Structure 1
Amino acid sequence: MSSERTPLPALVYHDFRFTWKGQEYRLYWNDRLRAHAPRHLAHPYPVWIDPWDLSTVWFLTSECKVTPVRQEEEEDEPEEGPLVAIDVHYDGDKSATAAAVLFTHWQAETAFDTITTTVSPIAPYEPGAFYKRELPCILALLEKMETPPCVVVIDGYVTLGPNAVDGLGMHLYRALNEEIPVIGVAKNRFKDTPQDAELRRGESKHPLYVTAVGVSQDSAKTFIRWMHGAHRMPTLLTAVDRLCRDGTTSTGCPSTPAD
């Protein structure tokens, strides 16, 4: 494979097909893995995308052949869902407010939509089984979305500790039929959390803890690192925390009550 990159300017990279090793692929701007990974995962392919320049695709080998997508094929494709970050706030043991911010790409500064929903009653707190309380709230919120998300970001852990015990995110992934990747972003360290879960953003001395399922750990950390904001917490994760607490966001997008 050549180390030289060959630019193909003016290609919107979610709008083309290409063939490699006899296999046809199509790359979407919001493909589940967001970069370098095809829908058919048997063979990684030599394509590089600059996340800061969404108009250029680099093919690292001449073996790739681009096939333009016809308009009628585009119309037949199912709609790709948004990225969504979700948080839940509890009013004692009576009810909970679940909130979501919807955004189109990892570097987005603002949400294009928000959703909130109130869940009552809620399950009692059970030590070691917090998911029994929070999972129904998240699922109730996701049911309000017109298009299922392509990735869900939650406040918490997907897996816990060095043995990767199921956390809230893993229970959510299974409840979604293992079809939608889930990324957990936690502010507090769970006991014996592996060091490779740590992610430092900006100049913060304190890490976030990132775990994931349906997408690799490295990719998940890259996505959270890409998110807008100069501080430890990305702008939109701060916004969804505020939204579930008081019904407002700092993104300039008003909350849309779901019920």
Structure 2
Amino acid sequence: MRVSVPHAWPSGREEAEAVQDRLRPLVRVEADGSPAPPLRLIAGLDVAYAKDDDRLAAAVVVLDADTLAVVESVSAVGRAAFPYIPGLFAFRELPTLVTALERLTTDPDLLVCDGQGIAHPRRFGLACHLGVLTDLPAIGIAKQSLVGEYAEPERPRGSWTPVRDGGEVVGRAVRTQTGVKPVFVSVGHRMSLDAATALALRLSPDYRLPETTRRSDRLSRQVLAAHLAQQA
């Protein structure tokens, strides 16, 4: 697939914040109750980092939306492209993720990021950035909450509570399995929060984390380990 990047990759805070400020108005959050887009192929994205330096591996795994079987897997190896600055973390991995996405021969209908959408200090997390760059529906399903406050959801699978930041609902804490810790769901682009919540549950039939994250996480770790072994 082709990914159009309408900006240079920034080297510092001011440039990165300017990119976010320019792209943030392009994010589209659909109203709850809006019909979800038809989904045939769902892509999960994740990145693994080396422990001792700035090398990383990005993986994209495309799943059949009905069976969750793997349709295609791609990866790319690179280096963290930006310093670690809270609120700007996505810039560390975006260039390598874009390289991986461009290696896809299939066209996914949805991107699922192991990270945040609008539940972000600047309302422009990784899922927003990738959604805008590709103009694909995108959601973030994160392991931890980044901003805001939430009440613990009730114990059964499917329970959720809103995540509020500054009086604004920016996401949901969603219990994908009974009695396990919730995941944190937010809209990235062209999706409603209701639809994103339903998808988080649909993609997590057996485990806390969605299959999109489980498969892409495994692949990114395997690719990075192989790369580091070759370079040793």
Superposition deviation, residue 133 in structure 1 = 0.8
Superposed, 1:28-107 pairs within 5 Å as 37=35, 82-91=41-50, 92-105=52-65, 107=66
Seen in structure 2, the aligned counterparts of structure 1 residues 229 and 153 have a Cα distance that, compared at 3 Å, is: same
Describe the SS at the equivalent of 1:37: coil
Superposed, 1:97-176 pairs within 5 Å as 97-105=57-65, 107-120=66-79, 122-160=81-119, 165-176=123-134
Read off the aligned partner of 1:100 and give its amino acid letter.
V
Seen in structure 2, the aligned counterparts of structure 1 residues 104 and 188 have a Cα distance that, compared at 3 Å, is: same
Distance in 2 (alpha carbons) for counterparts of 1:165 and 1:228: 25
Equivalent residues, number: 171
Distance in 2 (alpha carbons) for counterparts of 1:149 and 1:235: 15
Read off the aligned partner of 1:172 and give its amino acid letter.
L
TM-score of the two chains, using structure 2 as the length reference? 0.64
Deviations 1:185-239 (A, max 9, x none): 0011123155421111121331110111211010011011012532211234212
Partner in structure 1 of residue 26 of structure 2: none
Give 1 or 2 for the bigger CA radius of gyration: 1
Distance in 2 (alpha carbons) for counterparts of 1:99 and 1:204: 30
Superposed, 1:169-248 pairs within 5 Å as 169-176=127-134, 179-193=135-149, 195-196=161-162, 197-212=172-187, 213-247=189-223
Identity of aligned residues (%): 26
Seen in structure 2, the aligned counterparts of structure 1 residues 193 and 119 have a Cα distance that, compared at 3 Å, is: farther
Distance in 1 (alpha carbons) for counterparts of 2:98 and 2:198: 26
Superposition deviation, residue 180 in structure 1 = 0.3
RMSD of aligned alpha carbons:
2.8
Deviations 1:128-182 (A, max 9, x none): 3112112212211111112332110000001125x87211211222222xx2011
Conserved 8 A contact 2:112-2:212 = no
Distance in 2 (alpha carbons) for counterparts of 1:171 and 1:113: 23
**Richer in helix (by share):** 2
TM-score of the two chains, using structure 1 as the length reference? 0.58
Partner in structure 2 of residue 26 of structure 1: none
